[in-house]
Chains A and B, each alone.
Chain A
Amino acid sequence: MKKTISGTFLRWLLLIVGVAFAVSMVFSWSLQTRLSKKSAVNLLRLNIADVRQDVIDASDANLLNLTRTIASEIDGGAPSDVAGLSVLMTRHDVAEINVINTDGIIISTTHPDFLEYDMRTGRQSAEFLGLLDGTETEHVQSYQPISYDSSLLRKYAGVCLKDGGFVQVAYDADRFQRDIDHQIIGVTRNRHVGENGCIIIAGENWNIVSDRNHNEGKNLYATGIWIDRPTMPEGEVFISEVYGETCSCMYVFTEGYYIIAALPENEILLQRDTSVLLTAGLEVLVFLALFAVIFLLVHKLVVNNINRVNSSLSKITDGDLEEKVDVRSNTEFASLSDDINATVSTLKQYISAAAARIDQELAFAKNIQQSALPSVFPPYPDRKDFSLFAAMDTAKEVGGDFYDFYFLDENRLAFLVADVSGKGIPAAMFMMTGKTVLRDYAERGDAPADVARFANEKLCEGNDAEMFITSWMGFLETDTGLVRFINAGHNAPVLIRNGHAEFIKQKVNLALAAMDGVPYREQSLQLMPGDLLYLYTDGVTEAENASEELFGNARLLSVLSGPSGKGEAACRNVCARVKTALKAFTGDAAQFDDITMLCLYYAGTEADEAFADNVPAPDRESAENVIGPDNSEAETVTAPADSASDTVTVPASAEHLAEVIAFVEAKLNGFGCSERIKQQITVAAEEIFVNIAHYAYGDAAGNASVSVRLEQGDAVLTFRDRGTPFNPLEKDDPDITLGADERPIGGLGIFMVKKSMDEVRYERDKDENVLTIRKRL
């Protein structure tokens, strides 16, 4: 299957969109995962910071209250010596009370080791110095290692004393927690981390202090959380099971509490998944829209335009050179359209130039062709014994029809019409050849059948185009009105006698150049003075009218019937009548075939009488080949002798030679001729009979007859057969001057006959070959 542009485009577009989608999804997935994690961390931090602040606030407030109370008791006169401070420590249940003088030196303390400790010497203790220089009146610290002993974790608060210096109170985580646990419990109650996350607060000893799930008092690991402080830094996310759910967790340790925030992974991922799905959905929509838009654009801008160009091109290919390609929706196609139109228009110019040249050449050809046909009428103005007119209307510039006429000698006129198969230049060229060949043979003096036969042979040579010529050719003996003719596949001419028109009855032979070696049969027609002979081509009878009817034979006869007048006027009249009738019949229909006609008017002696130009007609000269000294005295061959005894008929086969020879010898003996003459005649009879036996019928069987008569002291032998028309006299004589080696074997027989007889002549009589020999006894 061939790929279409839109199909290919569709596949690539799908692939690219698919890849883009996948890449963006991976990108979006990883981005969203990171964002979700980050936001989870922030959420955890935020919650922890909140809770931590709550715890610190509660712790600071508690310790400050205690410190203020102790400070006011000291200010109120409570003893501040070591014993007094111990009483206060016990009463307020604190871990330590120190009194610091204005110099920053611990002057009294519940912890003997701290006495005389200079507050300035430690980082943690130095923070309290602000109470001495008046910048603050109270200071509270977070739960942390003390400067003096970093293994000791305490929370300190200091409040200025009325008499200068300040009192510093500290307590341990235990005491602190006792005081604030109840406050801490409430801190996590209504606190959510995200949707389902939670805050758990546990003491230094892992006992849970505050938990939404009411696990207070239990150990932290009951929730599933395990904190290993050296490996798990504060404020960092770690993953842990919390109440059976995988959570991202974070902790800080502050004021002796572990504050742990947990956010279920599901919730974090849900957020990510939601984002990714949302992105995917949006992308699908965007890509679909993009896909549709691009596809439609390609279709509209490329495929549709190509289809339009193609449809115009196919019209042009089908021959419509007027078609214009007009696709102007974009520059590229407009340019393509212009180029195609320019190409077609150039092509059109070339074609019309070529057509003009061809037209011109056809016109030249027509001129040559027309000038090859006799066109001056009357052609023989001084001949009164016949008149002739011919006309040719070609359907195209040049056609295959032709007519011709010429004198073979003073009293024999050859005339013919012919139609070459096909039309145009090839037909015209073949027509010229045909015309020339026919004339050559006719002027050589051959009988019509021979002219046809030789012309046929000639035209068959190298007739690769397989054209053929139908022709009707007649030789008119102007003095007798006898027309001897052949018909090579042509329409039967019309004889108009006393205004009555009818087709000549005849046998039709094969068209010329159709097949090699075909025999042509000479036929004859006796014209009477006043007769008109009308020859035509099938352009006449096959002319069509608009409703596709043919002119036909009946219409032709009816047009030709009736009085036509005399002489050339009659000929012109007949042709004009046919033309008029044809025009009336065909109307506006285009002339399809050449229309050629020739009309012969025979005046004969009628003319002689009419013009009192009475030159005695010469003796009828036969058209046969006549050889020998008796030429001028030759007479028309008469029919075979009636007497059965004059004639013997035998199968034309050499086996019957003896019968023929015996018959001839017997007859000659009866004439009382000499042995020498008898032998010559016998030899001649043998040669002729053997010739007939060999050639007349080919492989078929047939008879030959021989008649022997005595005429005016001459022995006359006539040989007849109904075989292939063949004139043995036309054979070239052998060259008797050649030596034995050069001399061909054969061709001698007829030569001997010609040599030894006084007269030999051949004629074709109807369907018979007739050979007559005469020998003076």
Chain B
Amino acid sequence: MTIQKTIQNQTLTVMPEGRLDTITAPQLESELRSSLGGITELIFDLDKLVYISSAGLRVLLSAQKTMNKQGSMVLLNVRPEIMEILEITGFADILTIR
């Protein structure tokens, strides 16, 4: 998995590409942990994310919890197969998806 990050003012855009699973989730988690300081808006562009497992969902949930305190988080371009997982897990209700 590759992760692209763009910071503009206080907005961080993250573009994970490929599979967010047990193996790769820690990678995203550490990227976020080192970049979220001072960020008021976090954007996940999931256009190129093709797979997510519970480990990936945990990272998203953890990020959402952090951003609830310091700003907002939004998910963009969610693919249908990912969306299905977000829906059955109830994540669709707690994440902002556009």
State the CA gap A744–B52 with chains docked (Å).
18
B81 & A752 in contact (Cβ 8 Å cutoff): no
B94 touches A739 (CB 8 A): yes
A746 contacts chain B at the CB level, 8 A cutoff: yes
Instruction: Kindly list chain A residues whose C-beta atoms are within 8 Å of the C-beta of B88.
Output: 752, 755-756
- Tell me the bound Cα distance from A442 to B23 in angstroms: 39
Report A667-710 CB contacts with B as 1/0, cut-off 8 Å. Answer: 00000000110011011001100100000000000000000000
Q: How many A-B residue pairs have CB under 8 A?
A: 71
Cβ-closest chain A residue relative to B66: A740
Q: Name which residue of chain A comes closest to B88, CB basis.
A: A755
CB-CB under 8 A from B94, the residues of chain A are: 738-740, 743
Task: Assess whether A751 is interfacial by the CB under 8 Å rule.
Answer: yes
A745 lies within 8 A of chain B by Cβ: yes
The answer to the question of B35 belonging to the interface, with a C-beta cut-off of 8 Å to chain A, is no
| Residues 648-681 of A at the B interface (beta carbon under 8 Å) | 654-655, 657-658, 661, 675-676, 679-680
A734 to B94, CA, bound (A): 14
A654 nearest in chain B by CB position: B22
Judged by a CB distance under 8 angstroms, whether B89 is at the interface is yes
| B62 and A741 contacting across the interface, CB-CB below 8 Å | no
Residues 208-224 of A contacting B (Cβ, < 8 Å): none
Q: Which of A676, A736, A738 contacts B81 (CB 8 A)?
A: A676
Are B65 and A683 interface neighbours, CB within 8 A?
Answer: no
Residue count of chain B within 8 Å CB distance of chain A: 27
A241 to nearest B CB, angstroms?
Answer: 131
Chain B CB within 10 Å, residue with most, of A657, A676, A748: A748
Whether B81 pairs with A745 at a CB distance below 8 angstroms is no
| A752 contacts B21, C-beta separation under 8 Å | no
- Determine the chain B residues whose CB is within 8 A of the CB of A676 once the complex forms: 80-81, 84
Find B53's partner among A658, A738, A741, A749 (CB 8 Å cutoff).
Answer: A749
Report whether B51 and A679 are in contact in the complex, using a CB–CB cutoff of 8 Å: yes
A737 interface hit (Cβ, 8 Å) = yes
Q: Is the interface of A mostly helix, strand, loop or mixed?
A: helix
Bound complex: CA A238 to CA B54 (Å) = 138
A683 CB contacts on chain B under 8 angstroms: 51-53, 85
Closest to A756 in B: B88
A686 and B65 in contact, given A749-B54, A755-B88 (Cβ under 8 angstroms) = no
Q: Quick check: B21 and A657 within 8 Å, CB to CB?
A: yes
B13 within 8 A of partner (CB): no
For residue B57, which residues in chain A have a CB less than 8 angstroms away from its CB? 748
Kindly name the residue among A675, A679, A687, A690 whose own CB sees the greatest number of chain B CB atoms within 10 A.
A679
The digit string for B81-98, where 1 denotes a CB below 8 A from any CB of A, is: 100110011110111000
A679 touches B81 (CB 8 A): yes
Q: Report yes or no: B54 in contact with A748, Cβ–Cβ below 8 A.
A: yes
B23 touches A654 (CB 8 A): yes
B53:A740 contact, CB within 8 angstroms: no
Q: Is B64 an interface residue (CB 8 A)?
A: yes
Q: Is B58 part of the binding interface, using a Cβ–Cβ cutoff of 8 Å?
A: yes
State whether A687 touches B64 (Cβ < 8 A).
no
- Once the chains bind, are B65 and A741 in contact (CB under 8 Å)? yes
Residue of B nearest to A736 (CB): B90
Interface 0/1 of B60-89, CB less than 8 Å to A: 011011001000000000001100110011
From A686, which residue of chain B is reached at the shortest CB distance? B53
Decide if B55 is an interface residue (CB 8 Å cutoff).
yes
A675 and B50 CA atoms in complex are apart in Å by 11
Q: Assuming A745-B58, A745-B62, is B53 touching A736 (CB within 8 A)? A: no
Q: Which of B54, B61, B88 has the most CB of A within 10 A?
A: B54
Expressed in whole angstroms, the Cα–Cα distance for A687 and B58 within the complex equals 13
Contact between B89 and A752 (Cβ–Cβ < 8 Å)? yes
B79 to chain A, nearest CB (A): 10
Complex Cα distance, B95 from A655, in Å, reads 30
Chain B: which residue is nearest A755 at the CB level?
B88
Other 15 A-B pairs with CB < 8 A, given A654-B23, A752-B53: A661-B21, A676-B80, A679-B81, A687-B54, A690-B55, A736-B93, A737-B93, A738-B94, A740-B64, A740-B94, A746-B58, A748-B58, A749-B54, A749-B55, A752-B85
User: 20 A–B contact pairs at CB < 8 A?
Assistant: A654-B23, A655-B23, A657-B21, A676-B84, A679-B81, A683-B53, A687-B53, A687-B54, A690-B53, A734-B90, A736-B90, A737-B93, A740-B61, A741-B68, A743-B94, A745-B58, A749-B53, A751-B54, A752-B54, A756-B88
A residues at B contact (CB < 8 Å): 654-655, 657-658, 661, 675-676, 679-680, 682-683, 686-687, 690, 734, 736-741, 743, 745-746, 748-749, 751-752, 755-756
Interface residue ranges, B against A (CB under 8 Å): 21-23, 50-55, 57-58, 61-62, 64-65, 68, 80-81, 84-85, 88-91, 93-95
Closest 7 CB pairs of A and B: A736-B90, A749-B54, A748-B54, A740-B64, A755-B88, A740-B94, A690-B22
